[in-house]
Structure 1
Amino acid sequence: MRLDQRSTRGPLPPQPFFSTPQQRLALARQRYFEDGVRPSGLVSESVIQSWSRCVHGHRDPVERIAFNPVTPSRIHSALSRSQVLLQAAATDLVQLEDTLAGTACTAILTDHQGVVVHATRSAADHGEVLLPLARRVGVSLDEEHIGTGAPGVTLRTEQPCLVLGGEHFFGNLQQLHCAAAPIRDVHGRLAAVLDLTSEGRPFGFDAAAVVALYATTIENQLLRAQSSEHLVVHLQTSPALLGTPMEGLAGLDASGRIAWLNNVAARLLGVTQGEAGLHADDVFGIALNRLALLTRASDAALHRLPNGLNVWIAARMQAPDGAGPLVQLRAPARVEPARIPVAEPVAATLRDNDRHLIVQTLQACAGNVSKAARKLGVSRGLIYRHLKQAKAEPADV
């Protein structure tokens, strides 16, 4: 009789006493794989659903799973598509490796299809057998290849997941403990999965919280990296949280339409991520030209949103040539409300406001393009392109 057919039998018999996680997992596996009964309450719903998908895929828990790389062409494609992601995540992945240096954990970054594109290394050899194979670039960690595992479940559900030991579908993977979290792009689509895995020993810390923190940080970096010519708005209820993984971020296009929001910004603004047609005036209660003026300020300003929430808000313009923001932001040294600048006659679009800032800086630098570029932190080519578009020359400034 098929397992999914047997699961329709009557109520569960009384649960035997169990006092350890190992006993609980053993009972869950017995209930599901031998008795055909859904082990609700013994393991998470995401694990049960993954087990069910594996069973319906005609997989057998006694299969021995090997971590084999995908084809060379697919590896090349995965690495090529992930260049922006890897550049955005580079600093945080180094920091994460340092964070994990005293543990037996490895951090693994996969693309949106589950192919490993980066992995950290343990500081010492802890006798792992599976982990050195699993963390190789090009190995697929999706559910189809390795069954129930945190990366595969997160790829499938786009939600954080924790899979510990015996919760893995296949028996030979039950030495692994893993925690994964999703990373999304400016379109709201799954871009990558960040995973922490240890072999042979349980996590000695809250791995789910750590991986979620770093996944959020990398996601914020990716959103900014993909936001060429967007006005990026930063907001939080405390200025101390600006510039941290807990800040809200929103990208506005040249018409003032909200191109993307991170999860924190969506919650603060009371809107849904990916909701179409949102405009800065409606969501922030600030006209586009006033938001653009914030790029000239080094301090965050206190502002009341249309929903009544008081937040600290700041903004920066992303340079079109990828050189970074035109203005670096910092939280105010003193927690005192800074007024959002009163709208003065400024350009109607973000592109024009960007050009206006460059012209002002050139004036302050007596027309010296090199000096202005250094002051703004951008390339000279960017300044020349803006001036060319405005049909102006440095000498005319």
Structure 2
Amino acid sequence: MQPTSYPLDLQILTARWRTFIETRAQPDAVDPVVVSSWRRCAPLLNPFAQPQLARLNEQALRRLLISQFDLLAIARPVMEDIFQVIEGDRSLMVLLDNTGCVLLTLGDAHMEEEATRLGLTPGTYWDEGRVGTNAFALALAERMPAQVVGAEHFLACFHHLVDAAAPIFQPSGRPIGVLGILGLGSMSHSHSTGIVVAGARALENQLAADVMHLDANTHLTLLNATMESIADGVLAWDRDGIVTQMNRQAAELLTLNPRLVVGHPLQRYVQAPADLREAMELGKPLRDVEAHLLVNGRPVYCMLNLKPIRIGDAPPIGFLATLQPIQQIHQIFYRLSGAQAAMTFDDLKGKSADIQRVRNQARGAARGRGNVLLQGESGVGKHVVARAIHNASSRANGPFIAVNCRAFPRDLFLSEFLGYESGAFSGARVEGRPSKFELAFGGTLFLDEVETIPLEFHSVLGRVIETGEVMRLGGTRVIPVNVRVISSTDTDLDSLVAEGAFQANLVYRLSSIVIDMPSLRQRREDLPELIDTILGRMHASQPANAATVTPEALHLMKKYPWPGNIRELESALERASSLVASGQPIDVAHLPESVRRGAVIVPTREKAEPVLNMDEWNREALIRAGWATHGNLTEMAHLLGISRTTLWRKMRFFNLTAHHFQPDG
């Protein structure tokens, strides 16, 4: 498709074409590809006739140009640049799509008039079947550059032309169009093909660049979407400390605007702690490190992971950090560890007036924000009320941290409550320890047996509760804490304050709301419901085997004072259930001896003693005084603080005489 030499002898080409038209014989020195095109055209076209061109109407052409917008947008500047080079050659640049339809012509005005006369205008198809042999059709058919000069055109009406064309391929290898040059045959030259090939390659390079740019944008969009979908804050910077990525979570945690930060040095906004700077200098990763960042001078506490970004074994080209609010870590830990028990006000069983009062006060406390003090004997269920208040409050999604104040030795009390920094004292954990207030951030801190807090620590705890700030032992940073405190006691704190054993200021801060818990003996009418609830919970896995209580056993249990309250009741029922055969009720014989005899533990006695009525108490007092005085009535009356007449009358009532207490009596 390239003439063998220049300058061309157009008359020789015409003679060879005529020979083929007349004899269909293979002409000498004609490109075989051109001859093959002649042979395809011969049965279809009259070489001496005008072509029957197919043309799109205006509406169809408009739709085609819109669909080819990207190709046209890239091709027009290239065609203009090429035309500036060949402007004096009276040539016309032509762009066609992959069906041979003309999309755009650009060039010499005289040549454009000639092209219009021949029908080479946008919307016209210049395929081989209608126009015969031409460079545009050959470039599409053979998928290679082509030049057709003079009589190489099959139709005689085009013998005065020369056209060169090169196919345009997508990055995938599929042809999407043709870039060509149309000129007069008398002005043909060898560099026309090179020009269109260079132009086609320029278009292909631009198309490839656009595809790469689109892929890059797609990947960047996917990366941004991925980063935004990550629950953690993500922050990335290069080896020079320039921030390259920051997702919304990191921006919210650090209270920074990504548009202002990305592209600028990280240290301009964030001051990193020493361990983070050291890890960056050494190119080492960090995992689950509690970091104290200064963001524009404001402290931010978070759990940080640092990963150096490397290519092979080379030094890091950047760093990727994930950030999580420290409070979120604590909440996740306690949620996974079951620290939030699903207790509600329905767990406060009973219909007595006292328990209804407690239930109503607890509901009010759940709606409020003040600290709550629960007062009552040991075992009345103060922890149940505390958890129910927490679970019904606006802090229900936060942690519930229960702390027994009696469990900590005096010398470890502050380190347990306030936490400590790494290296605060010998024996301290390397990573330090957060305070109980930090662990309960956003939730509730339940202080059980608050009366056992050592007096010298009252001011420290009161200060934390008042300010909502804590400073760990050995630390210098002030950590804000958002905690509601619920405390419990079985002691009269006002009496302790009067004795100087408890600070009044701490009582005030702990007791914005006070709830007095009734003992079990104060609400004996709730005993049957409590017994059914406890037995049902004990046999939850096998409801059919749930034990019941006989009327005799229930009567005896109602008489017993239950000094250990609900906790003692649960223990008694567990012991009784273990002695009962499956399906049998709990009877008197299954109850603990202390319940059967009405005996209770008295702090000053080694063994449980029975509960006595007043007559039994009077008789016991007479017997003890008699044995102490060996039956001397005067001394007995003096010990008992009564007159001899009253003593004589009481002894007669209980059928006792002085002889009962004689050593030989």
Tell me which of 161, 166, 178 is aligned to 1:181: 166
Task: Tell me, in whole angstroms, the C-alpha distance in 2 between the residues paired with 1:357 and 1:319.
Answer: 20
Tell me which of 39, 44, 47 is aligned to 2:34: 47
Pair 1:21 & 2:9 matched: yes
Q: In structure 2, what residue type is equivalent to 1:75? A: L
Tell me which of 229, 236, 259 is aligned to 1:369: 259
- Going from structure 1 to structure 2, the CA distance change for 1:186 and 1:126 (only over 3 Å counts) comes to closer
Are 1:150 and 1:179, in contact at CA under 8 Å, matched by a contact in 2?
A: yes
Are 1:88 and 1:225, in contact at CA under 8 Å, matched by a contact in 2?
A: no
- Going from structure 1 to structure 2, the CA distance change for 1:125 and 1:226 (only over 3 Å counts) comes to same
Residue identity over aligned pairs, in percent, reads 22
Aligned residues: 239
Are 1:65 and 1:173, in contact at CA under 8 Å, matched by a contact in 2?
A: no
Are 2:89 and 2:187, in contact at CA under 8 Å, matched by a contact in 1?
A: no
Are 1:180 and 1:208, in contact at CA under 8 Å, matched by a contact in 2?
A: yes
Shift of 1:135: 4.1
Deviation by residue 1:235-280 (Cα, 9 ceiling, x = unmatched):
xxxxxxxxxxxxxxxxxxxxxxxxxxxxxxxxxxxxxxxxxxxxxx
Q: In structure 1, what residue type is equivalent to 2:128? A: E
- Going from structure 1 to structure 2, the CA distance change for 1:35 and 1:228 (only over 3 Å counts) comes to same
> If the length of structure 1 is used for normalisation, what is the TM-score?
0.52
Query: Which residue pairs with 2:62 in the alignment?
Result: 76
- Going from structure 1 to structure 2, the CA distance change for 1:363 and 1:209 (only over 3 Å counts) comes to closer
Consecutive unaligned residues of structure 1, counting only runs of 5 or more, are: 1-18, 231-317, 324-346, 348-354, 375-389
Query: Which residue pairs with 1:320 in the alignment?
Result: 218
- Going from structure 1 to structure 2, the CA distance change for 1:67 and 1:100 (only over 3 Å counts) comes to farther
Deviation by residue 1:50-108 (Cα, 9 ceiling, x = unmatched):
1111113x211011126552244542343233112122223212212222222211110
Q: In structure 2, what residue type is equivalent to 1:44? A: D
Query: Which residue pairs with 1:35 in the alignment?
Result: 23
Q: In structure 2, what residue type is equivalent to 1:26? A: T
Shift of 1:363: 5.2
Query: Which residue pairs with 1:59 in the alignment?
Result: 45
Shift of 1:357: 7.7
Query: Which residue pairs with 2:585 in the alignment?
Result: none
Pair 1:107 & 2:87 matched: no
Shift of 1:148: 0.5
Query: Which residue pairs with 1:167 in the alignment?
Result: 152
Q: In structure 2, what residue type is equivalent to 1:141? A: W
CA RMSD of aligned residues (A): 3.6
Query: Which residue pairs with 1:90 in the alignment?
Result: 76
Consecutive unaligned residues of structure 2, counting only runs of 5 or more, are: 1-6, 222-226, 228-234, 247-255, 265-319, 324-665
Shift of 1:158: 1.2
1:160-239 superposed matches below 5 A: 160-199=145-184, 201-204=186-189, 206-230=191-215
- Going from structure 1 to structure 2, the CA distance change for 1:140 and 1:369 (only over 3 Å counts) comes to same
Query: Which residue pairs with 1:153 in the alignment?
Result: 138
Task: Tell me, in whole angstroms, the C-alpha distance in 2 between the residues paired with 1:127 and 1:117.
Answer: 14
Task: Tell me, in whole angstroms, the C-alpha distance in 2 between the residues paired with 1:82 and 1:23.
Answer: 40
Q: Which has the higher helix share?
A: 2
- Going from structure 1 to structure 2, the CA distance change for 1:127 and 1:120 (only over 3 Å counts) comes to closer
- Going from structure 1 to structure 2, the CA distance change for 1:361 and 1:45 (only over 3 Å counts) comes to farther
Deviation by residue 1:188-210 (Cα, 9 ceiling, x = unmatched):
11111001001353224510111
SS at match of 1:159: coil
Task: Tell me, in whole angstroms, the C-alpha distance in 1 between the residues paired with 2:104 and 2:263.
Answer: 34
Q: In structure 2, what residue type is equivalent to 1:111? A: D
Are 1:67 and 1:133, in contact at CA under 8 Å, matched by a contact in 2?
A: no
SS at match of 2:38: helix
Task: Tell me, in whole angstroms, the C-alpha distance in 1 between the residues paired with 2:87 and 2:69.
Answer: 25
Deviation by residue 1:94-132 (Cα, 9 ceiling, x = unmatched):
21222222221111011111111111121x536953456
Task: Tell me, in whole angstroms, the C-alpha distance in 2 between the residues paired with 1:20 and 1:99.
Answer: 23
Query: Which residue pairs with 1:140 in the alignment?
Result: 125
Deviation by residue 1:197-226 (Cα, 9 ceiling, x = unmatched):
013532245101111111111111112223
Shift of 1:229: 5.0
Query: Which residue pairs with 2:488 in the alignment?
Result: none
Are 2:93 and 2:179, in contact at CA under 8 Å, matched by a contact in 1?
A: yes
Task: Tell me, in whole angstroms, the C-alpha distance in 2 between the residues paired with 1:224 and 1:129.
Answer: 36
Are 1:128 and 1:200, in contact at CA under 8 Å, matched by a contact in 2?
A: no
- Going from structure 1 to structure 2, the CA distance change for 1:35 and 1:98 (only over 3 Å counts) comes to same
- Going from structure 1 to structure 2, the CA distance change for 1:64 and 1:363 (only over 3 Å counts) comes to closer
Task: Tell me, in whole angstroms, the C-alpha distance in 2 between the residues paired with 1:120 and 1:141.
Answer: 17
SS at match of 2:217: coil
SS at match of 1:320: helix
Rg: which structure is higher?
2
Are 1:228 and 1:322, in contact at CA under 8 Å, matched by a contact in 2?
A: no
Task: Tell me, in whole angstroms, the C-alpha distance in 1 between the residues paired with 2:169 and 2:51.
Answer: 29
SS at match of 2:168: strand
Task: Tell me, in whole angstroms, the C-alpha distance in 2 between the residues paired with 1:363 and 1:226.
Answer: 23
Task: Tell me, in whole angstroms, the C-alpha distance in 2 between the residues paired with 1:146 and 1:200.
Answer: 17
Task: Tell me, in whole angstroms, the C-alpha distance in 1 between the residues paired with 2:36 and 2:236.
Answer: 55
- Going from structure 1 to structure 2, the CA distance change for 1:320 and 1:208 (only over 3 Å counts) comes to same
Taking CA–CA contacts closer than 8 Å with sequence separation of 6 or more, which of the two structures ends up with the larger relative contact order? 1
- Going from structure 1 to structure 2, the CA distance change for 1:126 and 1:82 (only over 3 Å counts) comes to closer
Q: In structure 1, what residue type is equivalent to 2:71? A: L
- Going from structure 1 to structure 2, the CA distance change for 1:20 and 1:92 (only over 3 Å counts) comes to closer
